[in-house]
Amino acid sequence: MDAGMDSPVRLERLEHVVVLTIDRPKALNALDAATLRALDAAIDQVGDARAVVLTGGGEKAFVAGADIAAMSTLSPMEAATFAGLGQRVFDKLEALPMPVIAAVNGFALGGGCELALACDLVLAAPNAVFGQPEVKLGVIPGFGGTQRLVRRVGSMRARELVYTGRNVKAEEAVAIGLALRVVTEGTVKDAALALANQIAAQGPVAVRLAKRAILDGDGADLRVGLAGERTLFGLCFATADQKEGMAAFLGKRAPGFTGA
């Protein structure tokens, strides 16, 4: 069953694309434990979608961060457990077999920036603001920011952003590799849907295997990564999509991929 109307995470199916919306606009979509668990459940409902779009409800925020009011009284053990919940859910999102596109509208700070970092691609509205401001609260990123930010923008830039807690506006986010591009016309959700549909039109098995090759090779020795790529390339030739794709190319027609 899809996420219910009362859930802080809404799920919408649009043909081959699933849209997940963090919908707590009065709290700027901040992540408390209940919202993380709702996101966890929604991820389980993605099914055989060919792409996923993740966005925030309202105009002010993608996700403004973790819920500070909920965190303020945590004990050290409770804080570690809360971080573990966020890391587990974000790991699960990142591990989805299909690409996930973050449509960032407004603030993506702290846990919101970490959520975007767990996505494959990030599109930014002109008002998007990214950052890991946790040190301003006397803590560090706990949902993967010290790890994924380094992998996305490089060690020195990540250190600067984490150590200073400085926010980054949309154009700078693109310049440092934190976002793919700034969407200047229409809405960022519409742009993300257009990109998701472009991905969904490709061979779905090939896209999933390409994502697996990239994830498995990230941080691995080049020879290990190349060996994995070689194996996954060979697996493509056991699929109906490979036969259809190449037959369509040779026949000068559009392919009819089925995901088999």
pLDDT tens digits along 200-258: 999 999 999 999 999 999 988 999 999 999 999 999 999 999 999 999 999 999 999 99
- Whether the pTM exceeds 0.75: the reply is yes
pLDDT tier, 186 (very low <50, low <70, confident <90, very high otherwise): confident
Structural domain for 222, as ranges: 204-250
Mean pLDDT to the nearest integer, 100-124: 97
- Cα–Cα distances (Å) from 119 to 116, 157, 242, 254, in that order, read 5, 19, 26, 29
Do the Cβ atoms of 245 and 209 come closer than 8 Å? no
| Token output for 47 | 């099914």
Per-residue pLDDT at 59: 85
Mean pLDDT to the nearest integer, 54-74: 91
Q: What is the DSSP string of 82-144?
A: HHHHHHHHHHHHHT-SS-EEEEE-SEEETHHHHHHHTSSEEEE-TT-EEE--GGGGT----SS
pLDDT tier, 3 (very low <50, low <70, confident <90, very high otherwise): low
Residue 65 and residue 1: Cα distance in Å, rounded?
28
Does residue 172 share a domain with residue 66? yes
Does residue 52 share a domain with residue 69? yes
Q: Is residue 141 part of a domain?
A: yes
pLDDT at 2 over 80: no
Q: Are strands 17-22 and 61-63 parallel, antiparallel or unpaired?
A: unpaired
Does residue 168 share a domain with residue 74? yes
Q: How many CB atoms lie within 10 A of CB 31?
A: 31
Supply the Cα-derived Rg of the chain in whole angstroms: 19
Per-residue pLDDT tens digits for 128-170: 999 999 999 999 999 999 999 999 999 999 999 999 999 999 9
Does residue 168 share a domain with residue 223? no
How many domains does the chain fold into? Answer: 2
Q: Is residue 257 part of a domain?
A: no
Q: Is 134 a catalytic residue?
A: yes
pLDDT at 6 over 90: no
Does residue 218 share a domain with residue 98? no
Does residue 150 share a domain with residue 35? yes
Does residue 155 share a domain with residue 80? yes
Residue 79 CB burial class (10 angstroms; 0-12, 13-18, ≥19): middle
Does residue 73 share a domain with residue 178? yes
| Token output for 58 | 């309202």
Q: Is residue 259 part of a domain?
A: no
Per-residue pLDDT at 223: 95
pLDDT at 182 over 60: yes
Per-residue pLDDT tens digits for 74-106: 999 999 999 999 999 999 999 999 999 999 999
Does residue 244 share a domain with residue 219? yes
Half-sphere exposure of 120 (CA within 13 A, CB side): 22
Q: Is residue 255 part of a domain?
A: no
State phi, psi for 22 to the nearest 5 degrees.
-75, 115
Per-residue pLDDT at 62: 96
Does residue 168 share a domain with residue 89? yes
CATH number of the domain enclosing 78: 3.90.226.10
- CA 197 remoteness from chain centre: 16
Reduced to 3 DSSP states, what percent helix, strand and coil does the chain have, rounded to the nearest 5?
50, 15, 35
Q: Is residue 62 part of a domain?
A: yes
Choice among 15, 59, 94, 134 that is catalytic:
134
Q: Is residue 2 part of a domain?
A: no
Per-residue pLDDT at 229: 95
Q: Is 160 a catalytic residue?
A: no
Mean pLDDT for all residues in the chain: 95
Report how far apart the first and last C-alpha atoms of the chain are (Å, whole number).
25
Per-residue pLDDT at 1: 40
Choice among 15, 59, 78, 114 that is catalytic:
114
21, 139, 39, 18: which is closest to 92 by C-alpha? 39
Q: Of 58-62, 109-113, 181-185, which one has max mean pLDDT?
A: 109-113
Does residue 172 share a domain with residue 53? yes
Q: Is residue 235 part of a domain?
A: yes
Mutual angle of helices 145-153 and 155-164, in 10-degree steps = 140
Residues ≥6 apart with Cβ < 8 Å to 208:
97, 98
CATH number of the domain enclosing 244: 1.10.12.10
State phi, psi for 52 to the nearest 5 degrees.
-125, 135
pLDDT at 4 over 70: no
Percent of the chain with pLDDT over 90: 90
Percent of the chain with pLDDT over 70: 98
